[in-house]
Structure 1
Amino acid sequence: MIGELIRTPGALGGFMLLVLIFGFAPGIVLAVIVRLIPDLDRRYELQAELYEVPRWERPFWVAEQFEVSLRIGMVPRVEWGWGRFVWHRCKLESGLASTREYPDSFEVPDDEVKTEIRPGDHVKLMWSVRRFPGERMWVTVTERTGDRLVGTLNSMAIYVYMHPDEAIKFHIDDIIDCALDNDELAIEAEAA
């Protein structure tokens, strides 16, 4: 009986296709799909659930998980990229230009204070965002080369599509406020 089935034209190929579809493919495809999901525990959970699903339902179950991983994995990444680079394009604003435009109401640190800024100091920068109000956030200076600075974002952005600890390059004239390390030491010494 089995010998007759194997000798039938196309039977061996059909059998191999069934083994692939219901045997190997669901596990391999699911391993690729779960890479889209940011939560590591959820990845392991889905891979363990695969072997609880009846073998004949596994290809369809994996297809459902593909939809889930697209929704919770890819969609937020695409939204983030779209928001940051297309929809909410933000621009770092110059504190010096703002104080020249509004001299009575917008103050920035003077040039003497700005020359004292070193790595480890905190500075406040402001961003304008199309379609939304701008934001002012604190940045920790990590490098300084003349008037060019590099720092990491300390704040959690609301309108600006940036992550905390993201590296930011800026000019000394972009600073709207600062908290120097030596200021903090002076405050601590006065309190003691």
Structure 2
Amino acid sequence: MISDLLIAQGAIGTFMVAIAVFGFAPGMVLALIVRLIPDLDRRRELQAELYEVPRWDRLFWVAQQFEVALRTGLPVHIEWFWGRYVWHRCTLESGLKSHRESPHTFEIPDRESKSAIRPGDRVKLMWSVARSPGERMWVTVTHRKGDQLIGILDNYAVFAFLKPDEKMKFHIDDIIDCIFEEDDVEEAELAA
């Protein structure tokens, strides 16, 4: 009986489509859908629930989850995009430029200190934010190539639409303050 079905014309192709539609597609589509949902725990729950739903109902269940994700998650993403790129646009400001404009009141680290910055050190950068006061936040340096640096944001932003642990690319002239990793270690040893 099964051998007769498999040798019928187009049976292998139909079988492969059925595997893709009922086996592979629901999991892959759900993995894309859950990215819209901001709550990480809910994302994991949905992915675990998929395999509790009977195989024949999975397509409809995934479609329902898409509707839920659009209703609950999409407004959050739109709000974040609107805030970050339209309403509260933030741009990294040059510390060197601010120092040149006000050399007596705006101090920055000297060239030697800046050239000594290595991965693990912390630097302070400043952002101008449209329609809000600017912000100054600490960034831990992760990579350095000449005067170009990459780091991870250490602060929670108040006005700028930036997330903690967000990756930052910046130039050495953007730095307005720095703390070297060995200074942190020495302070911790003195405090103990």
| Cα distance, 1:44–1:187 mapped onto 2, change above 3 Å | closer
Contact 1:36 1:74 in 2 (8 A): no
| Distance across 2 between alignment mates of 1:156 and 1:180 | 21
Q: Which moved more, 1:104-113 or 1:123-132?
A: 104-113
Task: Quickly say closer, same or farther: Cα 1:42–1:35, change in 2 above 3 A.
Answer: farther
After superposing the two structures, state which structure 1 stretch, 170-179 or 68-77, moved more: 68-77
**Does the residue aligned with 1:133 lie in a helix, a strand or coil?**
coil
For residues 166 and 178 of structure 2, what CA distance do their matches in structure 1 show?
19
| Structural mapping, 1:84-103, within 5 Å | 84-103=84-103
Match in the other structure for 1:182: 182
**Residue 70 of structure 2 corresponds to which residue in structure 1?**
70
The root-mean-square deviation of aligned C-alpha atoms, in Å, is 3.2
SS of the aligned residue for 2:114 comes to helix
Post-superposition shift, 1:35? 5.9
What is residue 125 of structure 2 aligned with on the other side? 125
3-state secondary structure, aligned to 1:106: coil
Q: CA deviation at 1:85?
A: 1.8
Which one has the largest radius of gyration? 1
TM-score normalised by L of structure 2 = 0.66
Consecutive unaligned residues of structure 1, counting only runs of 5 or more, are 1-27, 52-58
Q: Residues of 1 paired with 2:71 and 2:49: CA distance?
A: 15
Alignment of 1:1-192 (within 5 A): 36=33, 38=37, 39-40=42-43, 43=46, 68-188=68-188, 190=190
Change (3 A) 1:46 1:76: farther
Structure 1: distance between partners of 2:177 and 2:183: 13
Looking at structure 2, the residues matched to 73 and 79 of structure 1 have their Cα atoms a distance apart, in angstroms, of 10
Moved more, 101-110 or 130-139: 101-110
Deviation string 1:126-185 (CA, Å, 9 cap, x unpaired) is: 000111111111111111111111111111222222222221111111001110012223
Deviations 1:99-152 (A, max 9, x none): 122223211111111111001100010000111111111111111111111111
SS at match of 1:169: strand
How many residue pairs match? The answer is: 160
Identity rate of aligned residues, in percent?
53
8 Å CA contact 1:121, 1:141 repeated in 2: yes
Q: Distance in 1 between matches of 2:71 and 2:155?
A: 28
Equivalent position SS for 2:142: strand
The AA in structure 1 aligned to 2:98 is S
Over 3 Å counting, the alpha-carbon distance change for 1:34 and 1:145 in structure 2 is: closer
Unmatched runs of 5 consecutive residues or more in structure 2: 1-24, 55-59
| Contact kept in structure 1, 2:139 and 2:153, CA below 8 Å | yes
Per the alignment, residue 16 of structure 2 pairs with none
Q: Write the deviation string for residues 18-76 of structure 1: whole angstroms up to 9, x where unpaired.
A: xxxxxxxxxx99x968964522266369879x99xxxxxxx9xx999766533321110
